Amino acid sequence: MEIQPQTIYSGIIDQLNTLSPDRRHNPFVLNRFRQEAEKLKNVNLAFAFSALGVISTLERNIQDVRKNFDLSLSHARERYTSIYLNYAVSLGKLGYLSEAEKVLQTAYNIFRYDLKILESLMEYSILSGKLRQAYNLIEDWIKLSPNTMCEIGQIIIPAAQEFNKLQYPDDLFENYFAAITKIFRDENLFIASERIISNDGSKPTLYNQYYIDAPGIEINRITETIDSAIKEFPTDLKEFFYFDLPYPESDIENLIVSVEKDIEIPSEKLVDADESQLRRLANLVGLDVDQWL
């Protein structure tokens, strides 16, 4: 029985999603996937170029990301929501959050009843600094799903209400996010995932974690560069939204191995972990990696 193009495409994407940090940017590994994607051109150009777009993301080549996904959309005989979603994820992983939001806005104009598209648009609206837009989209969600609110919606509602109290223009918030993500683009970083967290205190705030993955990345230097880039923004705005750059996944994996060895040792021989190890270990809790579909 002939294997369907969708099945071949999904297989390539699934394997790319599960590549370990030390393999996901390896040119020899990616070349093997590129050969598979090229073969897919013989049966489905839309899926082939979408797969090539994902590979270009792992190569951190933004020009090829745009080129391949644009070709994918131009060759799609059917309206595949997954291509738009994957395009947005790829742009986001390279720090082009505002551009990702625009891709999802285009998709939402086409797929007005798709909850996944709407949820992603809400998320990337926040990540690109458009919190008020994200809040306005809550109304659309309620119309489509009146009995269930998505997780990002539960974060948006209290955060947007608190943001309104600051009475800052929308473009200030967008410029604040742009100052942060510009560093990611300038440094040619790969963002394995972003996590948006809202605290449960009396004054809601947004806490965004960017899990950076790049060979030889110096987290402290990147953090200092971002701090310098946003130093002129109002203090209460920075208190409302703050960011964190947890340690790279490769460091976390090494820590896991270390901890696993430790817990095999009798408790009386355990060595106290220093503060940095404890902070790195805490990053393991609830790590959500943005994946392609």
Last residue of a domain, one of 78, 103, 131: 78
Between residues 251 and 211, which one has the greater pLDDT? 211
The CATH number assigned to the domain holding 213 equals 3.30.300
In a domain, 163, yes or no: no
In a domain, 147, yes or no: no
Q: Which two tokens stand for residue 83?
A: 């291509």
Between residues 79 and 249, which one has the greater pLDDT? 79
Number of domains in the chain: 2
In a domain, 123, yes or no: no
- Parent domain of 200: 170-282
In a domain, 158, yes or no: no
Between residues 207 and 123, which one has the greater pLDDT? 123
Tell me: pLDDT of 276 over 70: no
Last residue of a domain, one of 52, 78, 104: 78
Between residues 164 and 53, which one has the greater pLDDT? 53
Q: What is the pLDDT of residue 252?
A: 55
In a domain, 150, yes or no: no
In a domain, 149, yes or no: no
Last residue of a domain, one of 63, 78, 93: 78
Between residues 108 and 216, which one has the greater pLDDT? 108
Mean pLDDT of the region 31-36: 96
In a domain, 290, yes or no: no
Mean pLDDT of the region 235-239: 90
Q: What is the pLDDT of residue 42?
A: 93
Q: What is the pLDDT of residue 33?
A: 96
Tell me: pLDDT of 161 over 70: yes
In a domain, 216, yes or no: yes
